[in-house]
């Protein structure tokens, strides 16, 4: 009985000591996490030891940043240290959009995955897309924080899509070619003026498109997706000019390289023109009907041949 009595008398003290020790360990852990997460925030570390109430408030604020603590792009190391718990607006909009529609993007899962892997490495970046479609919001969301621009031949379609999705940046463009001209235009691959690297606006090659908005020519594009214009019937404009111009802009950048994707390569025009003007030597991979080329700058190294 004596041992039981002594043990009972010591139990409250032992429990209180354990609670105090655990409390200090918890506060130390919380303080360590706060210091690690916010090394540049002196407000979180006052010269006097904060009370448990103050520490709780500071920890809550650190874990639940206001919208102003969620930058759209990471520009400095300090920004990189900020952990934002809010979903990017473009991603949230995309999730709601695709969850409430029966319309799916034209590309397959495997085809989209090719571009997704590149975007995972390069975004936020400059992404130029030939064509405006049901997958446009997806591309914008995957390039969150970057600039994604769409070039579309159908003005009415632009109005229809941007009315539903006003955040998309789309421009109306026209083409003066037809699919029936493809064979004759292919012969230009041997012409010297079509193998010279220049701004498309000053190129003497008939395939160079000179009618894009000035914003398009003034940007070095990191990714270019050619999924337009229409090319499935003889009177359609075809993608001859789009493919050539995409390759020309990639070669004409100051330095680095551009990932160029061409969809629908099961068709004769897309197959032939992508191989001729984006070059088999720059072909990285093909998945399904999507072909991926990695085209380096030709201005960074003089004397580089048009195709390797």
Per-residue model confidence as pLDDT tens digits over 130-188 = 999 989 999 999 999 999 999 999 999 999 999 999 999 999 999 999 999 999 999 99
pLDDT of residue 300: 87
Give yes or no for residue 297 having a pLDDT over 80.
yes
Token output for 138? 């997806």
Average the pLDDT over each of 71-75, 129-133, 292-296, 304-308 and give the range with the smallest value.
71-75
What mean pLDDT is predicted for residues 215-240? 97
Q: What percent of the chain has pLDDT over 70?
A: 67
pLDDT in tens, 256-268: 999 999 999 999 9
pLDDT in tens, 236-249: 999 999 999 999 99
CA angle 167, 172, 175 (to 5 degrees): 150
Q: How confident is the model at residue 214 (pLDDT cuts 50, 70, 90)?
A: very high
- Residue 286 CA to residue 202 CA, distance in Å, equals 32
- Average pLDDT across the chain, whole number: 80
pLDDT of residue 87: 64
Q: How confident is the model at residue 102 (pLDDT cuts 50, 70, 90)?
A: confident
Q: How confident is the model at residue 305 (pLDDT cuts 50, 70, 90)?
A: very high
Residue of 56 and 212 predicted with greater confidence: 212
CA angle 118, 267, 122 (to 5 degrees): 10
Question: With 0-12 CB in 10 A as exposed, 13-18 as middle and 19+ as buried, what is 19?
Answer: exposed
pTM listed for this prediction: 0.72
Q: Which residue has the tokens 């992508």?
A: 274
Q: Which residue has the tokens 């009907």?
A: 289
């Amino acid at each position: 009985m004596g041992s039981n009595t002594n043990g009972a008398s010591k139990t409250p003290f032992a429990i209180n000591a354990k609670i105090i020790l655990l409390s200090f360990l918890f506060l130390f852990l919380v303080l360590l996490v706060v210091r690690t997460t916010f090394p540049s925030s002196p407000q979180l570390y006052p010269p006097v030891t904060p009370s448990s109430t103050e520490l709780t408030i500071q920890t809550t604020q650190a874990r639940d940043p206001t919208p102003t603590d969620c930058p759209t792009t990471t520009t400095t190391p300090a920004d990189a240290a900020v952990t934002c718990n809010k979903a990017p607006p473009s991603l949230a909009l995309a999730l709601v959009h695709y969850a409430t529609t029966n319309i799916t993007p034209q590309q397959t899962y495997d085809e989209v995955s090719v571009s997704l892997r590149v975007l995972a490495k390069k975004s936020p970046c400059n992404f130029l897309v030939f064509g405006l479609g049901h997958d446009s919001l997806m591309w914008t969301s995957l390039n969150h924080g970057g600039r994604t621009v769409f070039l579309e031949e159908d003005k009415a379609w632009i109005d229809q899509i941007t009315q539903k999705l006003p955040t998309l940046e789309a421009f109306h463009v026209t083409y003066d070619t037809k699919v029936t001209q493809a064979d004759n235009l292919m012969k230009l691959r041997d012409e010297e003026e079509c193998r010279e690297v220049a701004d498309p606006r000053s190129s003497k090659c008939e395939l160079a498109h000179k009618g894009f908005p000035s914003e398009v020519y003034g940007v070095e594009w990191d990714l270019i997706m050619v999924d337009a214009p229409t090319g499935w019937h003889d009177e359609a404009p075809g993608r001859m000019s789009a493919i050539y111009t995409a390759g020309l802009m990639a070669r004409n950048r100051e330095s680095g390289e551009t990932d160029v994707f061409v969809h629908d390569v099961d068709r004769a025009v897309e197959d032939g023109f992508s191989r001729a003007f984006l070059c088999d030597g720059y072909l990285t991979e093909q998945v399904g009907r999507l072909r991926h080329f990695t085209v380096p700058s030709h201005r960074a190294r003089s004397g580089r041949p048009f195709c390797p």
